[in-house]
Structure 1
Amino acid sequence: MGLFGILLGLSLLVWLAYRGWSVLLLAPAAALLAAAFAQEPLLAHWTQTFMGSAARFIAQFFPLFLLGALFGKLMEDSGCVSSIARWMTGALGTQRAMLAVVLAGAAVTYGGVSLFVAFFVLAPMAQALFREAGIPRRLMPAAIALGTTTFTMSAMPGTPSIQNAIPMPFFATTPFAAPGLGLVATAVMLGFGLWWLARQEARARAAGEGFGDTTPAPVQAAADDPLVRERATVAREFDPAEIRRSAATQEGPPVLLAALPLVVVVGVNLLMTALVLPRLDAGFLAEPRWGGTSLSAVAGVWSVATALAAAILVLLVLNGRRLPSVRASMDAGANAAVLPVFAVASLVGFGAVVAALPAFAGVRDWVLGIGGGPLVSLAVATNVLAALTGSASGGLTIALQALGPTYMELAAATGLDPGLMHRVAVIGAGTLDSLPHNGAVVTLLAVCGTTHRQSYLDIVVVCIVGALLALGVVIVAGSLVGSF
C-alpha cells in the first residue's frame, strides 16, 4: 500500500498541476496522501518533513532565485537584452536568422538573464527576423529553446542557472564542475540542434512554406495568462506575471555596455571559484552558529550569488539612468523570485516526504540497481523525476535529496569524481523536463503564438533528443577517461 500511495500522490500531483492547479496546494496534499497510505503520522510529515525540507531549499537557494530574477528584470528594463539581441541579429543578418536567434538566446542566458525574460524579449525579434527571412513561424519556439533552455542551462561550465547550482551542496562541487565534458555536451547539443533546424528550414523552403500568420507575437497575453503562470513558476526562477509590472526603456545602451554585466557574471564566478574562495579561511563555518557546515558545501552558491550581485551593481552604474524607474524594476525583479522559489520548494517538500516513507527503500534499490553503473542510474533518476514534476530544478533536488548521500558513498568507494556526477545530474534533469506539460514549453509556445501541434516536435528534437545524445556522450566519455 505504501508504494501505491506514492504512485497515487505523484499521479494526482502531475495531473492536477497540468490542469493549472497551484503546486503550493497540490504538493503538500499529495505528500499527505502518500503518507496516509503508508500509515505514517500526517501532521508530523507536514510540519517536520515537508516544511523542514522546503525551508532548507529556500534557505539554500533563495539568494540565487532573488538575484537571478532581479538581474534579469534590470537587464530587460534597461534595454540591455534587446541591444544584445539586435546586435546579434544585425551582425548575422537574415541569411543566418536561425543562428542569430539561437546565439542571442545563448549569450543572454549564459550571462545570467532569466529564461523567461529572454523569451519575452527574443520572441518579437525572432518574429521580425523570421518573417523577413521567410522562415516558418512554427520554428521560432525551437530556435529560441535551443539557445536558452539546453546547453546554457545544463552544460556550459560556470553557467549561473539554478539547475547548475543545485548539485553543489550535495557533491561539494563548483559551477565549473567537469568543464571539459560540459563543453563536449555543449557542442553536441548546439551542433545537433542547429543541424535539425537547418534541415527543417530547408524542407520548408523546398515546400514553398513561408512565414505564415503575421499576427504579432502575443507577448502581453502570455504574460497575463494565469495558466501559463501556474505552469511556469515551477519550471524556472522568474514569475511571468512580473514581466510587465515595470516599464522598459525605449532606447537601449550600446552593445558593449549592454554585454558588460554578462561578462561580469562569468568573470566574477570564475574568479570566486578558482582564486578567492579556495584561499578563504572558512573554518568558522563548522561552528553551530553557522549551521556546522563547510566551505565546500556553500562555495558554489557563494560564487554564483557574488557574481550576480557584482553584475547588478555594474549594470546600475553603467545603465541605471536608462531605467524609467529603478525602484519599480527592482521591486518587480524581487517579486518575480518569490512564487517560483516557493513552488519549487513545495515540490522538494513532496519529494522529502516520499523519500522518508518505508516503501521508498524499494524505489531507491531499484534505481541503484539499474545496469550501467552509478552514472546511468543517476541519469535515469534525474530524468524521470524532472519529467514527472515538469521541473528540472524540482526533479533534480528531489533526486539528490533522496539519493545524493548514497551516490557520494559510491563515488568514494569507486573513485568516481563528484564533478562528473554533478554534470551528469544536471544534464539529466534538463532532458525529459521538456515534456508537453513543462512550464517553459507552455510559456514559449504562448509567447510565440504557436501550438503544441505546430511546434512541439521540433522542441522535442532540439531539447530532448539533443540533450539525451549529449548525456550519453558524457556518460560514455566519463566512464572511459574520467572527468575533465
Structure 2
Amino acid sequence: MTSTLAIVVSLLLLMYLAYRGITVLLLAPLMAALAVLLSGEIGVYLPIYTDTFMKALGNYVIQFLPIFLLGALFGQLMADSGAAHTISRWIVDKLGDKHAIVTVVLACAVLTYGGVSLFVVAFAIYPIAKDLFRAANIPKRLIPATIALGSFTFTMTALPGTPAIQNAIPIPYYGTNVFAAPGLGIIAAAIMFIGGMWWLRGRAASAQRAGEGYGHHEDDTEKDALQGVDSGALSHMPLFLALLPLVLVISVNALFTYVVFPRADMSFVTERFPHITPAKVTGLWALIIALATACATLVVSRLGHWRNLRDTINKGVFGFMLPLFNTASEVGYGAVIAGLAGFVVIRDAVLNVTPGNPLISEAIAMNVLSGITGSSSGGLSIALQTLGPDYLRMAQEAGISPELMHRVAVLAAGGFDTLPHCGAIITLLAICKLTHRQSYLNIAAVTMGAPMIALIAVIALGTVFGSF
C-alpha cells in the first residue's frame, strides 16, 4: 500500500511540476527517486537509476532516434524551403476567408499528415490564420483550437500511414506498422474532423450572434514574418514541388510496408542479427526510408533557392534532441515505477478493468498516463514499456488483432494528453499570444471531446467487427 501511494504521489507531482514549466529531463529522474524513497528503497536508487532508468531511456533512444531526427529535419526543410507556406497559401486561395476555420484546419492537416512537425505548422500557419480570422471577423480566441484540430488530432493518431511519432511507438511492441487498422482509423478521423468543425463553427456563430468579432489584440500591428525563409522561394515555389515531399512520405512508406519488405527474403537478417524479429521492425524501417527520401528530395529540388541550407539542416537536426530526450526520460521514469512493488497493484487494477476486452483497459491506461505526463508520446511510451507485453498476450488470448490494439493505443494517447499542463498547448497559446482563460475550453473540446467519441466508436466497432 505504501509503495502504491508513493507512485501516485510522484505521478501527481510530475504532472504539477511539468505544468509549472520544469523540464521533464530533470523531473523524471527526480520523481522516480521520490517514488523509490517513499517506497522505502532509497538505498538502492543509484543501481536502479543506472540499470533501470538509464537502460530504458537508452533503449528508447536507440529505437526512435532516427524517427525524431528525420521528422524534425523534414519539418525544418519544409518550413525554410517555402513548401509549407506554398501549400497553406494555396489552400487559402482556394477556400478564402469565408471558410476561414476549415481553411486553417485543412492547411494544418495537410502539413502534419505529410510529416511536418506540429510546432513548425503552428508557427507557419498562425500569421495566415490571423489574417483570415480578422477578415472573416471571427474571434481570435478560436485560432488555437482551430490549429489544434488540424494538427493535434486526426492526422496525429487516426489517419492510416501518418508519420507522427505516436503512430510509430507501438510498432516494436505489437509488430505492426503505421497503416494499422486503416478503415477504423479513417472512421475515427472523420468523427474527429466533423465533431471539431461542428464545435468551432457553433462557437463562431454564437460569437457572431452576440456581436463579438475578431477583437483588438496587442500583435495586430506586428509584422508577420517567417524567420529564416527566403521570400523569393516562398513566392515562386511550384505547388507540385511543395506537395511532392508530403506525397513521398506516405507513398514510399506504403511501398516498403506492403510491397518491398513482405516480398523480401529476411533470412539473412535473422542469421546475422538473431535478436531482431523483422516483423517488429520493418514498420520503423519503412518510415525511416520514407522520411529520408522526402528530405533528400526537398534538398535537391530546391538547390539554388536555399537561403542557408547548412543552417536549416543544423537547426532541424538540433531541434529533435529535446523532444526525444523528454520522451525517453519519461520512459525511464515509467521503467522505474514498473519495478516497484506497488506497481503490481496498479497494473492488476488496470488490466482487470475489463478482463474480456483488453481494448478498454488499454484505452484507460493510455489516457491516464498521457494526461498525467501531458504528452501523448510520453504516456504511450510509458504504458507500452510497462504493460505492452501484457496487452499483447491478452489480445492474443481474446482473439484481438495487434493492429486493432495499435490503433486503439494511439487514439487513446491522443485523448487526455492536452490537459492544461501539456507543453504543446502552452507553446501554441504562446505563439498565438493568448491565454488558457481565453482559449483553452475550445481547445479541450476539439482535442479531447471529439477524440474520445472517436475512441469509443473504434473500440465498439473493433469489438464487434475486428480490425479493418
User: What's the TM-score once normalised by structure 2's chain length?
Assistant: 0.96
Match status 1:251 vs 2:254:
no
- Residue 219 of structure 1 deviates from its aligned partner by 10
Paired residues of 2:192 and 2:454 also in contact (CA < 8 A): yes
Structure 1 CA distance for aligned equivalents of residues 222 and 334 of structure 2:
34
Match of 2:414 among 430, 436, 439: 430
Counterpart of 2:113?
110
**Which residue identity lines up with residue 374 of structure 2 in the other structure?**
G
Equivalences for residues 189-228 of structure 1 within 5 A: 189-216=192-219
Return the alpha-carbon distance in structure 2 between the equivalents of residues 285 and 442 of structure 1: 44
Question: In 2 relative to 1, CA 133–462 (structure 1 residues): closer, same or farther, beyond 3 Å?
Answer: same
Instruction: Give the Cα separation in 2 of the matches to 1:213 and 1:256.
Output: 38
How far off its partner does 1:213 sit?
1.9
Separation in 2 of the partners of 1:213 and 1:172?
52
Q: CA deviation at 1:148?
A: 0.6
Taking only the aligned residue pairs, the percentage that are identical comes to 49
Contact 2:82 2:229 in 1 (8 A): no
Question: Is 1:129 matched with 2:135?
Answer: no
Q: Which amino acid aligns with 1:398?
A: I
* Partners of 2:463 and 2:351 in 1: CA distance: 17
One-letter amino acid of the structure 2 residue matched with residue 251 of structure 1: A
Q: How does 1:61-460 map to 2 (within 5 A)?
A: 61-216=64-219, 246-252=228-234, 253-287=237-271, 290=273, 292-371=275-354, 373-460=357-444
Contact 1:249-1:322 at 8 Å conserved across structures: no
What do the CA deviations read for 1:106-125 (whole angstroms, capped 9, x no partner)? 00000000010000000010
> What is the CA distance between 1:249 and its match in structure 2?
4.1
Name structure 1 gaps, 5 residues minimum. 224-242
C-alpha distance in structure 2 between counterparts of 1:431 and 1:425, whole Å = 10
Q: Say which SS state the counterpart of residue 302 (structure 2) adopts.
A: helix
Q: Which residue of 2 aligns with 1:474?
A: 458
Other-structure match for 1:240: none
Alpha carbons of structure 1 residues 447 and 67: separation in structure 2 relative to 1, 3 Å: same
Structure 1 residue 247, shift from structure 2 partner? 4.6
Contact between 1:247 and 1:329, CA under 8 Å: does it hold in 2?
A: no
Task: Give how far 1:320 is off.
Answer: 3.5
CA distance in 1, matches of 2:299, 2:192: 34
Q: Is the CA contact (8 Å cut-off) linking 2:19 and 2:420 kept in structure 1?
A: no
What is the 5 A alignment of 1:40-59? 40=41, 41-59=44-62
Question: Which residue of 2 is the match for residue 231 of structure 1?
Answer: none
Q: 2: CA distance between counterparts of 1:329 and 1:456?
A: 33
Q: CA deviation at 1:248?
A: 4.5
Distance in 2, matches of 1:340 and 1:360, equals 27
Displacement of 1:438 in angstroms is 0.5
Q: Distance in 1 between matches of 2:274 and 2:312?
A: 34
What are the superposed Cα offsets for residues 97-155 of structure 1, whole Å, 9 maximum, x if unpaired?
A: 11100000000000000010000000010000111111110110111110011000000
Label 1:456 to 1:250 Cα distance change in 2 as closer, same or farther (>3 A).
farther
**2:4 aligned with 1:22, yes or no?**
no
* Bigger mean CA deviation after superposition, 251-260 or 192-201: 251-260
* Shift of residue 67, structure 1, vs aligned partner: 0.1
CA deviations over 1:334-383 (Å, ceiling 9, x no partner)? 00001111111000000000011111111110001113721011000000
Contact 2:357 2:398 (C-alpha < 8 Å) held by counterparts? no
CA contact (8 A) 2:408 2:459 kept: yes
Mapped partners of 1:304, 1:220: distance in 2: 38
Residue aligned with 1:33, SS = helix
8 A Cα contact 2:414 2:451, kept in partner: yes
TM-superposed deviation, 1:23:
1.2
CA–CA distance in structure 1, aligned partners of residues 49 and 89 of structure 2: 49
For residues 343 and 50 of structure 2, the distance between their equivalents in structure 1, rounded to whole angstroms, comes to 20
Distance 2:419 2:46 in 1: 33
Does the CA contact (< 8 Å) of 2:81 and 2:229 recur in 1?
A: no
Return the letter of the residue paired with 1:431: G
Q: Distance in 2 between matches of 1:460 and 1:413?
A: 36
Q: Which residue of 2 aligns with 1:13?
A: 14
Aligned CA distance change for structure 1 residues 175 and 452 (closer, same or farther; 3 Å)? same
- C-alpha displacement at 1:283, in angstroms? 2.8
**Structure 1, residues 220-249: CA drift from partner, whole Å, max 9, x if none?**
99x9xxxxxxxxxxxxxxxxxxx95x5554
Which residue identity lines up with residue 289 of structure 2 in the other structure? T
Query: Cα distance, 1:11 vs. partner?
Result: 2.1
Q: 67-76 or 11-20: which moved more?
A: 11-20
* Contact map agreement 1:273 1:300 (CA 8 A) in 2: yes
* Pair 1:163–1:284, CA change in 2 (3 A): same
CA RMSD for the aligned pairs?
1.8
For residue 445 of structure 1, what is the amino acid of its counterpart? L
Shift in Å, 1:250? 4.4
Greater shift, 363-372 or 139-148, is seen at: 363-372
Report deviation, 1:215: 3.6
1:442 CA displacement? 0.7
Distance 1:217 1:314 in 2: 37
How has the CA–CA distance of structure 1 residues 300 and 162 changed in structure 2, closer, same or farther, with 3 Å as cutoff? Answer: same
**Aligned partners of 2:397 and 2:216: how far apart in 1?**
59
CA distance in 1, matches of 2:221, 2:363: 36
Please list the CA deviations of residues 242-293 of structure 1 after superposition, one character each: whole Å capped at 9, or x if unmatched: x95x555443212221111101101101111110111222234435x64701
Query: Does the aligned pair in 2 maintain the 1:54–1:349 contact within 8 Å?
Result: yes
In structure 1, how many angstroms separate the alpha carbons of the residues matched to 2:429 and 2:264?
46
Cα distance in 2 between the residues matched to 1:218 and 1:165: 41
